[in-house]
Structure 1
Amino acid sequence: MFRPKRSSLVKRLWKHRVRPQHHEAGSEVESAEELELKSAGQSLLKRLKEADLEALLAAVETRGAESTPCVWLSRAVLQLGKRKAMPHTLSCQLWRWSDLDTNCEVMRHLPCKSGEVDANSVCCNPFHWSRVLPPGTPPRASRQLFPHSAFPPLITQHLTSPATKHNALYAPEYSPMSLHHSMVSYDQPRDDHSRVCWCHVAYWEHRSRVGRLFAVYDASVHIFQHLPQGDGMCLDLLQAPSSEDSVRRTRDKIGVGLVLDMQDGAVWAHNRSDFPIFVNSPTLDIPGSPALIVKKVPPGHTIKIHDRRVSKVIERHRDAAFLEGPFDPYAVRISFAKGWGPHYSRQFITSCPCWVEILLTGNR
């Protein structure tokens, strides 16, 4: 009775697998590498229960847009030709990145429980994992001083625009150049369980703040435009209709957005959208250099956007000669789909249509 259903689930999952880039479209001929991957993949699917197959299929068909549970398997390695692969990296290779090296580092998203519930099991939901951006990825460097490289003089004034007027009753105008004053005087709210807010997220469109600061208490927060059953910071609820084509186009590209995780004193950003995000953080900058570094993070990748230990070192040893005005080692800026700096037409992040500022509240 149940065998036909299981067979149907397996066939649907196999239909959604990611084919290698060198595979010719429409070709039925499979290379030796593809045959090895197929054998290992079939072995992985045989080890899953029917309920796990359903959960895996839901994740694959929605491409992670909907919240899906962990899919547990034993950590026992699978044979992939002459190589061996862990179940979760094989799952990611089958349904996310065909070029993923089985030894390549991938990182789980919170609230995935892999490694927490059972040390002998691992989550094989491929959309609970991201590829870690290699440390050697070439950054986009801007030979301009911080913080004026991020904000031209005009932004030091309190700014208003039609895009933010509808929020005037809820949030005072906010200038990023007055960050130090704003955050020191900002009352960190607590809920009934006395959870501490570890960061606030400010959403911007060009030079205008949109909506109020979003306080984050949980170890993970999702920032998105549209998301079925979404839980987190929904930008669509903050936005007013825009007459700017660039803003409308970028809003459409945000999609399922990104996830911020706080783990062991570090903050990670997982890009879940179909377009790159661009990140600037003091802990990504070159120590002792006036250059402002902007990192491009492709879809499906993750990057450590802030390290508290590094920020403390930077704060102690920063060169005052490179700084004009307030310096905040606990502020991170992320632009959706559009980069900025000398390699782009946009020299400042305030020229980017849609971006967020992550304001870490601890140790200020």
Structure 2
Amino acid sequence: MEELERALSCPGQPSKCVTIPRSLDGRLQVSHRKGLPHVIYCRVWRWPDLQSHHELKPLECCEFPFGSKQKEVCINPYHYRRVETPVLPPVLVPRHSEFNPHLSLLAKFRNTSLHSEPLMPHNATYPDSFQHPPCTPFPPSPSHMFSQSPNSISYPNSPGSSSGPGSPYQLTVETPPPPYHARETPGNHNGRSMDAIAESQLVLSLPNGVKSADGETENFRPVCYEEPQHWCSVAYYELNNRVGETFQASSRSILIDGFTDPSNNKNRFCLGLLSNVNRNSTIENTRRHIGKGVHLYYVGGEVYAECVSDSSIFVQSRNCNYQHGFHPATVCKIPSGCSLKIFNNQLFAQLLAQSVNHGFEVVYELTKMCTIRMSFVKGWGAEYHRQDVTSTPCWIEIHLHGPLQWLDKVLTQMGSPHNPISSVS
């Protein structure tokens, strides 16, 4: 306790770890509620608005960070830092197109997206398919990323499962606790910061001869990313019918559940409130099993989906599939008590920066990455008798506003597609 008092009274000074024994499930009970101990202490002493462990990262000086799976856990609030949203470099749109389809780095990405959609999406079950060697945060070319198309992959509900590629966090959540790698430094890649990698690869994606900032402004229009008022919108569907109004998310942490709170809480989208005269018994039964549903976090430019329902959720995210080397249409099963990073803004920025030099159509394809579909309780794909998400009883469609607005600005600057089209084509 003396070390904790010293750390709190002198926050700018180096301090030692303040440890408590790790409980069996890694959590601490306070006033009949359980939570992760480092989150509780950080919320009490530093950040009252702290929502989730996804917002915290241990400092290098900490010897007993929560994610290290040691017998002791450090609860020193000054041994953790809050994850900051990275500044994304502007996309430089060429004033004069130099598109050459034979030199396109994204040709394989585009061809896979347009022409190789399977009759039924592949399925991934958390954890087995997520334990292959991680890819680099920003692959130099997407061409190799869709070469594999696993028919079945899995994903264990284990506190010891490894972190997703390029992720500073584990894929498990507060129940069971998230064991992210303690010694991992996600802001660094081979000794270089993420920003340095992004900037260097942005320059590499530009045509030859563009080297200086002055040269860039002469031949390119910079298009910057801006955070919108609502970071996403969520629409709820039953089979192929949309039900209710679209939910606009202003809070960075939202809960989509099956309950009936009528208070219009900006942090909750209660599906249990919504009525549908065409609802059948399968839909009714599925709705009863949504329960606590899914918790969506938008932290540090990344979107996480945490399954807090007793039943699994199923997610189709092209951005997530790209990170893990899956086919774009793969549907990932997230069991109860697990979470998965389903969108990475920095990866999207890298793909967008590369694609502007390869034509309007390639950029437009990225709009599919900004929409995420998620079903409750019932899955779809090759391993299920439902082939399409519109055949599942209860599902949602998430539109990410920031990336969509960024794409809109870039496409507006680019003008129109190169390929002509007629009224009879």
* TM value normalised by structure 1: 0.50
Of structures 1 and 2, the one with the larger relative CO (CA 8 A, separation 6+) is: 2
* TM value normalised by structure 2: 0.43
